[in-house]
């Protein structure tokens, strides 16, 4: 494609697989990259050597570019950054912090830097600091979210910066892809869409919850903490809502959520797990390989021609 995102990263299609803690490992990232997109390993709160293992797993499974997402609030961020540099991944995406002081080191290692941003102000700041592109993430996305919807965020960020913008949040088929491009994006990022993939390690209960979800089956918890999270409704989400309604403390909130991602991704506990998901879960109806899902996503797009 004559597309700046594809040219920047050496990929066939400007489609990123979103980084999801406990889910986006080396196997999933490699599968998406092999399908022509950009697979991304989630750093989360993992130690550096754990991420090195996932990077090397991806390298064994693909010779295509892939990335690592670094959560800058992680206590192990410096370890993960060093590992990403040593392993020379194609790019890093960043969240929950400012990657400015690390950009020079990444660039010296030949690594592209693509921060995830929820606002125009942060997008402009990232461009000024030397970011190669930004992911503008609307509040339709799963997991931690910002204030603005994709409909208003994408065009404003695209107008504000000259670097490529990748749109994330609320995309599950070619209509969402084309809408993002119409609003100024030059690529898209999807997380929830890839959870039902065969190569995704998420528990089958997690995959089925997404496949069976309706349009109103997500909710946002934790608004009072300043770090709201979008999840599928279940017993745990109702407990969070009750806690917020009753003026619960931060300590109670953290205690309730402790271990909940493990409960969902690994154990598939439908009551105790935190099943992070975007609002587009109601549109996700297919399981399959990453290649099949990518083909299905782009079928009918006016902006991206899919060729196997």
CATH of domain 4-200+285-298: 3.20.20.70
Number of H-type helices and E-type strands within the chain: 13, 11
Question: What was the pLDDT predicted at 136?
Answer: 97
Cα atoms in the 13 Å half-sphere on the side-chain side of 193? 30
Write out pLDDT tens, residues 32-60.
Answer: 999 999 999 999 889 999 999 999 999 99
Beta strands at 134-137 and 165-168: parallel, antiparallel or unpaired? parallel
Write out pLDDT tens, residues 137-167.
Answer: 999 999 888 899 999 999 999 999 999 999 9
Residue 275's nearest CA partner among 213, 238, 232 is 232
Task: Estimate to the nearest angstrom the gap between the alpha carbon of 166 and the chain centroid.
Answer: 11
Helices (H), the chain: 4-9, 26-34, 48-61, 77-87, 100-108, 120-129, 150-160, 174-182, 204-212, 235-245, 250-257, 260-265, 290-298
CA distance 97 to 208: 33
CA distance 143 to 120: 20
Give me the chain's average pLDDT, please: 94
Q: CATH 3.20.20.70: which residues of the chain?
A: 4-200+285-298
- Segments of the chain scoring below 70 in pLDDT: 1
């Amino acid at each position: 494609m004559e597309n700046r995102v594809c040219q920047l990263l050496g990929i066939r299609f400007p489609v990123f697989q979103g980084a999801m803690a406990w889910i986006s490992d080396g196997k999933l990232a490699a599968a998406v990259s092999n399908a022509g997109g950009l697979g991304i390993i989630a750093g989360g709160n993992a130690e550096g050597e754990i991420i090195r293992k996932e990077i090397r797993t991806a390298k064994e499974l693909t010779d295509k570019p892939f990335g690592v997402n670094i959560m800058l609030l992680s206590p192990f961020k410096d370890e993960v950054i060093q590992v990403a540099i040593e392993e020379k991944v194609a790019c890093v995406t960043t969240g929950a912090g400012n990657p400015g002081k690390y950009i020079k080191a990444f660039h010296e290692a030949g690594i592209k830097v693509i921060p995830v941003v929820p606002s125009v102000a942060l997008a402009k700041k990232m461009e000024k600091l030397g970011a190669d592109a930004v992911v503008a993430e609307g509040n339709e996305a799963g997991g931690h979210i910002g204030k603005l919807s994709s409909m208003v965020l994408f065009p404003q960020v695209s107008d504000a910066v000259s670097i490529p913008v990748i749109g994330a949040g609320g995309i599950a088929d070619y209509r969402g892809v084309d809408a993002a491009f119409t609003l100024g994006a030059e690529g898209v990022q999807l997380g929830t869409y890839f959870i039902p993939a065969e190569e995704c390690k998420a528990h089958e209960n997690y995959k089925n919850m997404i496949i069976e979800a309706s349009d109103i089956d997500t909710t946002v918890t934790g608004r009072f903490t300043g770090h709201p999270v979008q999840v599928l409704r279940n017993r745990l989400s109702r407990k969070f809502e009750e806690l917020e309604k009753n003026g619960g403390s931060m300590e109670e909130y953290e205690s309730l959520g402790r271990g909940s991602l493990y409960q969902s991704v690994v154990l598939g506990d439908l009551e105790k797990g935190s099943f992070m998901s975007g609002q587009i879960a109601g549109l996700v109806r297919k399981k399959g390989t990453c290649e099949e899902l990518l083909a299905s996503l782009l079928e009918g797009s006016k902006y991206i021609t899919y060729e196997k």
